[in-house]
């Protein structure tokens, strides 16, 4: 009993350290512009924030007033963002409660990661090690603390897994995982993947309650997907989100899957083949239902990542948004497998050395710490981990923000938004590539060059290199469609803020534009636009 109490205290300390880390992360990713501190999310999350802001203002769940395009894929998360917009919080601070929410959700996830590990192994050392790996895994924290819905989804997966395994151990049926994951599909539709995985495992292994799993499983999945489809059809007139058409249609399946496989190979290579494959060794000595469930959930998230072509930020390193949802389960299996290996190695020790238990515990602690260094050392962001010397700059000030890949552009986006407000009327339309923070803080009508909130662009063919290998190495999901003849030639934005690839081709549609400078930024402005405050800008060329 006393030993269990010590581990409970150790876990509480771990959670407290994580929350300190998360608070430091959130503050150090903020910045000051013209005397005001800004908290800004990942730019994709800022797109959802713009929808939320417009919804609360009475414009509807739209990117631009008067349009009906579902350019977000996280309905319930967007509605949660909208709740905070009801409160008298300045836009510069509006992202902070979302980030705090992410920290609290990730902290709660540690509780369930520990519970799952204890249920699987009955070993407090393994449970604490798995929770530690989860707490300081950089990619999971990047997604969760920068406003993505990953923090909510990973907790849902962990809770559903815990409920499922607990019910299986008690020999009873539990309908709650299906309800929770059905709600999860309303947060993000591809939560249907872990839903179907758990349903499949239950149908296979829980013969006594098979009919209940069939009824509740397919019933709640149909309810979750059906409800959002009905609402989407009624409001947007589409069967699927615009992001589906953007990322899937007009993209050859082989290119998409090939890119997903290359992204997976890079992840395994950078993680280390031994570490990546070690959890699957559990099949050699643990073939019980709990192990199979965890392996199936992780494997299916990996398979889904491959199917959709990986994520747009694979170059940042580490697990993408889809794989991150199952990383706590991966760490549980990894720590369990390492403990089993250490157990076997400890039997070969010299009896005159340290007692076996101390030796095993010391080796497990060393494994956890070294693994944390390894899985985070290849990340291209300094916000990955506090205890790793390679990432110690989290607590330093000099040169810190220049290396935060996920947030380094946010300060520039805010400054761009302020510059745009200085040079234009509220009716001026802007063409952007980064479709989150700039439109959100400028509050100007925007044209999304990459089509996330543009149904026309989303349905065009993808721009792919001719060389087969280049197609697999240069493809970024959600960043392969653009049409300057439409976005610039037809829509005629007042200001072109950014261009994507093939920028030279855009010049054909910019004959009536001039380059202007304001507040240190250069933009392309339409010469005949009455929405430009010409006395506020310097014309660079005519």
d(CA 258, CA 307): 9
**Residue whose C-alpha is closest to residue 136's, from 161, 108, 110:** 110
Provide the pLDDT confidence category of residue 224 given band limits of 50, 70 and 90.
very high
Q: What is the pLDDT of residue 133?
A: 96
> Distance between CA atoms of 422 and 40, rounded to whole angstroms?
21
Query: Are 494 and 522 a contacting pair, CB within 8 Å?
Result: no
Q: Which of 497, 471, 134 has its CA nearest to residue 324?
A: 134
Asked if 114 contacts 295 with a C-beta cutoff of 8 angstroms, the reply is: no
CB-based contact 140:324 (threshold 8 Å):
yes
Element (H, E) at 335: helix 327-346
| From 69-83, 124-138, 196-210, 381-395, the region with the lowest mean pLDDT | 381-395
Mean pLDDT of 521-538: 93
Which tens digits make up the pLDDT trace of 481-513?
Answer: 899 999 999 999 999 999 998 888 889 999 999
Output the pLDDT for position 469: 64
- Tokens, residue 354: 């340290």
Residue 443 backbone zone (phi > 0: left; psi -120 to 50: alpha; other: beta): left
Share of the chain above pLDDT 70, in %: 89
**pLDDT value at residue 392:** 32
> What is the predicted pLDDT for the residue at 315?
78
What is the reported pLDDT for 476?
Answer: 78
Task: Give pLDDT, residue 218.
Answer: 95
Q: What distances in angstroms separate CA 503 from CA 484, 485, 488, 506, 510, one per listed residue?
A: 9, 12, 12, 5, 11
pLDDT for 396: 32
Only one residue has tokens 């280049």, namely: 470
User: Helix or strand or coil: residue 492?
Assistant: coil
Average pLDDT over residues 274-287: 83
pLDDT single digits (tens) 376-415: 876 654 443 333 333 333 333 333 333 345 566 899 999 9
Burial class (CB in 10 A: 0-12, 13-18, 19+), 534: middle
Whole-model pTM: value is 0.91
pLDDT of residue 386: 37
Crossing angle of helices 176-187 and 192-205, in 10° steps, is: 160
Q: How many Cβ atoms are within 10 Å of 56's Cβ, its own excluded?
A: 16
- Identify the pLDDT of residue 384: 38
Residue 32 has a pLDDT of 94
Could you tell me if 244 and 285 are in contact, meaning their C-beta atoms sit under 8 angstroms apart? no
Buried b (16+ CB within 10 A) or exposed e, 14-31: bbeebbebbeebbebbbb
What pLDDT does residue 398 have? 32
3-state secondary structure of 31: strand
1: Cβ–Cβ under 8 A, 6 or more apart, which residues?
Answer: none
What is the arrangement of strands in the sheet containing 513-518, beginning at the earlier edge strand?
446-448, 430-432, 495-496, 521-526, 513-518, 538-539
Q: Which helix (H) or strand (E) holds 260?
A: helix 253-271
Is the separation of the CB atoms in 161 and 329 below 8 Å? yes
* HEC assignment per residue over 139-160: HHHHHHHCCCCHHHHHHHHHHH
Per DSSP bridges, beta strands 446-448 and 430-432 are: parallel
Task: Quote the CA–CA distance of 78 and 220 in Å, as a whole number.
Answer: 22
Q: Above 90 in pLDDT, residue 283?
A: no
pLDDT at residue 3 greater than cutoff 80: no
Mean pLDDT of the region 272-291: 84
- Residue given tokens 């501190």 in the structure block: 37
* Lowest mean pLDDT, pick from 129-138, 214-223, 350-359, 512-521: 350-359
Q: How far apart are CA 196 and CA 182, in angstroms?
A: 10
pLDDT value of residue 399: 33
How many residues belong to the chain? Answer: 542
Q: Which residues contact 212 (CB under 8 A, 6 or more apart)?
A: 173, 175
115 or 274, higher pLDDT: 115
Q: Which of 276-285, 380-389, 466-475 is predicted with the least confidence, judged by mean pLDDT?
A: 380-389
Q: How far apart are CA 133 and CA 289, in angstroms?
A: 23
Contact predicate 71/444, CB 8 Å: no
Taking residues 29-47, what's their average pLDDT? 94
- What value does the mean pLDDT take over residues 264-272? 90
pLDDT number for residue 331: 96
Q: What is the mean pLDDT of residues 469-482?
A: 75
Query: What pLDDT score was predicted for residue 391?
Result: 38
The burial class, CB within 10 Å (0-12 / 13-18 / 19+), for 334 is: buried
Does 423 score more than 90 pLDDT? yes
pLDDT at 209: 93
Is 411:520 a contact under the CB 8 Å cutoff? no
């Amino acid at each position: 009993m006393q030993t269990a109490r010590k581990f409970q205290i150790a876990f509480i300390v771990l959670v407290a350290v994580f929350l300190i880390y998360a608070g430091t992360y959130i503050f150090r990713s903020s910045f000051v512009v013209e005397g005001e501190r800004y908290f800004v999310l990942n730019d994709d999350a800022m797109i959802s924030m713009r929808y939320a802001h417009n919804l609360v203002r009475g414009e509807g769940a739209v990117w631009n007033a008067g349009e009906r395009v579902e350019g977000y894929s996280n309905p319930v998360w967007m509605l949660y963002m909208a709740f905070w917009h009801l409160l008298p919080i300045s836009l510069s601070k509006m992202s902070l409660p979302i980030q705090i929410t992410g920290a609290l959700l990730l902290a709660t996830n540690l509780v369930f990661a520990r519970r799952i590990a204890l249920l699987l192994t009955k070993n407090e050392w393994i449970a604490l090690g798995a929770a530690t790996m989860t707490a300081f895994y950089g990619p999971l924290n990047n997604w969760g603390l920068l406003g993505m819905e990953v923090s909510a989804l990973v907790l849902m997966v962990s809770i559903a897994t815990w409920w499922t395994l607990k019910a299986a151990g008690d020999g009873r049926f539990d309908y709650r995982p299906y309800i929770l994951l059905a709600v999860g599909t309303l947060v993000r539709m591809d939560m249907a993947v872990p839903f179907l995985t758990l349903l499949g495992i239950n149908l296979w292994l829980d013969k006594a309650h098979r009919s209940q799993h069939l009824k509740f499983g397919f019933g709640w999945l149909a309810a979750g997907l059906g409800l959002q489809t009905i609402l989407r059809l009624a409001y947007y007139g589409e069967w699927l989100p615009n992001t589906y058409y953007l990322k899937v249609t007009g993209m050859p399946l082989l290119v998409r899957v090939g890119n997903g496989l290359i992204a997976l190979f890079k992840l395994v290579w950078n993680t280390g083949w031994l570490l990546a494959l070690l959890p699957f060794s559990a099949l050699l000595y643990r073939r019980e239902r709990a192990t199979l469930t965890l392996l199936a959930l992780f494997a299916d998230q990996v398979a889904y990542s491959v199917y959709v072509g990986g994520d747009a930020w694979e170059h940042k390193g580490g697990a993408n948004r889809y794989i991150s949802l199952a990383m706590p389960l991966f760490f549980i299996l990894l720590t369990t497998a390492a403990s089993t290996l250490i157990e076997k190695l400890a039997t070969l020790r010299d009896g005159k050395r340290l007692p076996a238990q101390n030796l095993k515990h010391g080796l497990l602690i060393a494994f956890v710490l070294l693994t944390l260094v390894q899985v985070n050392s290849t990340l291209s962001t300094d916000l990955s981990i506090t205890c790793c010397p390679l990432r110690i700059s989290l607590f330093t000030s000099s040169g810190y923000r220049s290396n935060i890949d996920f947030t380094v552009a946010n300060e520039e986006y805010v400054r761009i938004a302020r510059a745009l407000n200085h040079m234009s009327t509220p009716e001026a339309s802007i063409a952007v590539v980064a479709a989150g923070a700039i439109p959100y803080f400028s509050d100007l009508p925007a044209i999304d060059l990459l089509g996330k909130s543009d149904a026309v662009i989303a349905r065009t063919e993808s721009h792919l290199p001719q060389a087969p290998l280049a197609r697999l190495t240069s493809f970024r999901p959600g960043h392969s469609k653009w049409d300057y003849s439409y976005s610039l030639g037809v829509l005629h934005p007042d200001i072109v803020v950014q261009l994507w690839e093939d920028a030279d081709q855009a010049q054909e549609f910019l004959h009536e534009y001039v380059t202007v400078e304001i507040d240190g930024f250069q933009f392309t402005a339409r010469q005949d636009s009455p929405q430009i405050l010409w006395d506020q800008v310097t014309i660079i060329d005519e």
